[in-house]
Amino acid sequence: MHTAKGSALKQVHNFIAGDYVASDRTFKKYSPITGEHIADIHEADKAQVDAAVRAAQAALNGPWGQMSVQARVAILEKLVDGITRRFDAFLTAECEDTGKPYALARSLDIPRGAANFKVFADLVKDVPGEYFETATPDGRGAINYSVRAPVGVVGVICPWNLPLLLLTWKVGPALACGNTVVVKPSEVTPQTAALLGDVMNEAGVPPGVFNVIHGFGPGSAGEFLTTHPGVDAITFTGETKTGAAIMQAAAIGARPVSLEMGGKNAGLIFADCDFDAAVEGTLRSAFANSGQVCLGTERVYVERPIFDRFVAALKSAAEAMHIGAPQDEATQMGPLVSQEHHAKVLSYFKLARDEGATVVTGGGVPEMPTALKGGYWIQPTIWTGLPEDARVMKEEIFGPCCHIASFDTEEEAIALANDTHYGLSTAIWTRDLARAHRVARQVRVGIAWVNAWYLRDLRTPFGGAKQSGIGREGGVHSLEFYTELKNICIKL
Ligand code: NAD
């Protein structure tokens, strides 16, 4: 299925209309852990993308479109079972593609991959509606009520940092609401999307409801999908500049978009915080998943009385992190995802020095055992001393790094947090809840955490302000994008 008979290398195929489909052209997948060529990915051409969209249209107009909510919910619950049964296969594929520690993927990525189907299966069982009785001039009256119809064929474009988690975050609600999907996973992390094909078939998802096409963005599967007139709506997670290109594609035919994009998030550490919790939370927010988390903290602001102590504590915690092979249960940080991303992050490490940063720790590539030397390893890195207008302070790096600066007043902390084009998240650390509320209200972000980081309840709205996103997904908010609200008016 994924490995062609007689082939030494793993072959990752497209999944179209319920079948795994090879392409004439393939591209290479390299291991982030060793740098070795580990798989060939079949790149969907224009005709294959068209076939996937047509299959999705046919399924929408066929059995899936006719199915009751109860029957759809039962299938979604089988998807949860299917992922859970194949837990180890998903875990191995995800860690092979990304290089992330097994311990992280075991506790976060794979369980969330399953939970994303469960939460939306539960949600659509009981969707609230509106009902109005309306007076009419003839005295007979009318009733108005709202129903939610699927939006249609949804194009789903995903990034590489949390591949299964972010893909199912979109496919879960899309299918729960009765849509069909054509998914393009990142070219860097295609494996878990491909594995989902078998899970869909086993659960009884009709052919064409879920399709996966592999490839790149411009001039490849991404562009073919987003410009295809048969796609009714596009949901995207990735970089802000890619989101802007996708908006342009969506403008053809005036199709709706949901965009979850980049961040340059601030952590605000007040002197009255629980110091150890703030250090631990900031450590995770800067270095978890090797800093490749959209919600991660790249700008840390600490109230002056505890600045020196905080920098020293974060430095020693970062230096104590175990960098190593994903399978090693002690590993806290794996490599970066690709050679290209490694080069990009290292270029920012150089830029930070050029812009005058003091390197508190890290700033380069760690010494690794011989077997791992070809991988894309990097040191957790902390800087101080950069001016607020430095590029390193403004641009999303998406690596295991943060800059720490001090502040004196609450107003100054809010102004510093807001001094960015992005607006995804912030983490506020203080014991003063009145202040926490004041600050959270004034920071222009989609998610403000108080004394926590990455604490998620999937029923809550998720998305970004400013250039971090358009729209909100999560809980009932996903219904806004994945359904078309229709009013039915019956004259009595
Ligand atoms: P990316 O924008 O480079 O790629 C994302 C996806 O878009 C890939 O599948 C890619 O092939 C595709 N793509 C690229 N150009 C395209 C085009 N012109 N048309 C159609 N598809 C195209 O992002 P990435 O490097 O994979 O992921 C990292 C970025 O994602 C970071 O900026 C991060 O902040 C962001 N992110 C945001 C969230 C969020 O929820 N806000 C979550 C995770 C990651």
Summarize pLDDT for 315-324 with one digit per residue, the tens. Answer: 999 999 999 9
Residue in 43, 94, 260, 396 annotated catalytic = 260
**Do 2-261+468-491 and 265-458 agree at the fold level?**
no
- DSSP string of 183-218? EE--TT--HHHHHHHHHHHHHTPPTTSEEE----ST
Instruction: Answer yes or no: is pLDDT of 411 > 70.
Output: yes
> What confidence tens digit (pLDDT) does each residue in 426-445 have?
999 999 999 999 999 999 99
Whether 261 is in the pocket of ligand 1, judged by its Cβ within 6 Å, is yes
Residue 171's pLDDT band, with cuts at 50, 70 and 90, is very high
**Structural domain boundaries of the chain?**
2-261+468-491, 265-458
Residue type, 433: L
Whether 186 is in the pocket of ligand 1, judged by its Cβ within 6 Å, is yes
Does the 2-261+468-491 domain belong in CATH 3.40.50.720? no
Question: What is the spatial distance between Cα 36 and Cα 327, in angstroms, rounded to a whole number?
Answer: 17
Q: Which CATH class is domain 265-458?
A: alpha beta
Known catalytic membership, residue 401: no
**14: closest CA among 154, 207, 180, 183?**
183
Averaged pLDDT score across all residues of the chain = 97
Residue 2's pLDDT band, with cuts at 50, 70 and 90, is low
**268: closest CA among 441, 449, 397?**
449
Instruction: Answer yes or no: is pLDDT of 147 > 80.
Output: yes
Whether 78 is in the pocket of ligand 1, judged by its Cβ within 6 Å, is no
Known catalytic membership, residue 294: yes
Question: What is the spatial distance between Cα 171 and Cα 120, in angstroms, rounded to a whole number?
Answer: 10
**15: closest CA among 246, 190, 175, 234?**
190
* Neighbouring residues of 297: CB distance < 8 A, sequence distance ≥ 6: 265, 266, 267, 282, 285, 286, 402, 427, 453
Question: What is the spatial distance between Cα 424 and Cα 398, in angstroms, rounded to a whole number?
Answer: 14
Question: What is the spatial distance between Cα 90 and Cα 193, in angstroms, rounded to a whole number?
Answer: 9
As a whole-number percent, the residues of the chain with pLDDT over 70 amount to: 99
Q: Where is 484: in which H helix or E strand?
A: strand 483-491
> What confidence tens digit (pLDDT) does each residue in 258-289 have?
999 999 999 999 999 999 999 999 999 999 99
Ligand 1 atom with minimal separation from the 215 CA: 11
Whether 97 is in the pocket of ligand 1, judged by its Cβ within 6 Å, is no
Q: Which of 46, 239, 421 to mutate to test the pocket of ligand 1 (most atoms within 8 A of CB)?
A: 239
Q: Which of 242, 260, 458, 468 to mutate to test the pocket of ligand 1 (most atoms within 8 A of CB)?
A: 242
Q: Where do we find the tokens 């009385």? A: 305
CA angle centred on 275, ends 272 and 279, rounded to 5°:
135
Residue in 95, 273, 294, 401 annotated catalytic = 294
Instruction: Answer yes or no: is pLDDT of 1 > 60.
Output: no
**205: closest CA among 91, 402, 363, 73?**
73
* Neighbouring residues of 111: CB distance < 8 A, sequence distance ≥ 6: none
Ligand 1: distance of its center to the CA of 38 in Å? Answer: 23
Report strand pairing: 10-12 vs 14-16: unpaired
Whether 32 is in the pocket of ligand 1, judged by its Cβ within 6 Å, is no
